[in-house]
Copies of this chain bind each other. A is one copy, B any other.
């Protein structure tokens, strides 16, 4: 049994945002730490004939109402973003570039991107918007800009995405505990049951 749990997420996903606010505390409660792993959902959406929920007729309108209700019950900020879905490529690349240097910094960056996008509603697609977050964390934005075009970083994001898909992830958030996958923020209580009892 591993001592970590794997948290796969897409910055464009509001349910990933909600999970990001709880996953560390939940894991810590049971002596685990969390591997934060952003991944590109687009590839798997083709296999499952799916799309970002906010882009689907009728479902999209419902999603915003549901997310607002979830956030209200959790007592966390939620703002409908000015642009949705965001293009999270730059943010994901910067994440993996940071992860290579400092795990804590990478997680702080992910939380800051999520807060800016889903908490405040600012578009985090532009590289410049991502670099502003980087600066706030005391990281050199020029180096981060170079990283967004670095071949090794691009390759790492592709590799992590493929690994997530190979393990069965098809949505965000997708959390693996002892290799058992749980889809959706609404399965946090299943994850807690698994952590407490070793499975369901």
Contacts and interface: CB of A to CB of B under 8 A. Distances in A.
A185 to B, nearest CB: 10
B47 A57 contact: yes
A173 to B, nearest CB: 14
A184 B185 CA distance: 13
Interface in A23-63: 44, 47-51, 56-59, 61-62
Given A51-B49, A66-B183, A183-B66, A44 B73 contact: no
Name the interface size band of chain A.
20 to 34
A48 B57 contact: yes
Contact of A66 (B57, B58, B170, B187): B187
Of A66, A184, A193, most buried by chain B (CB within 10 Å of CB) is A66
A190 B71 CA distance: 12
B58 A168 contact: yes
A200 interface: yes
B168 A73 contact: no
Interface string A52-88: 0000111101100010011011000000000000000
A58 B48 CA distance: 7
One complex includes copies of this chain to the number of 2
A69 B72 CA distance: 27
A69 B180 CA distance: 11
A187 B70 CA distance: 10
Contacts of A62: 168, 170, 181, 183
A186 interface: yes
25 contacts: A44-B58, A47-B57, A47-B58, A48-B57, A48-B58, A48-B59, A49-B51, A49-B56, A50-B56, A58-B168, A58-B170, A61-B168, A62-B168, A62-B170, A62-B181, A62-B183, A66-B182, A66-B183, A66-B187, A69-B190, A70-B190, A72-B200, A73-B193, A73-B200, A184-B186
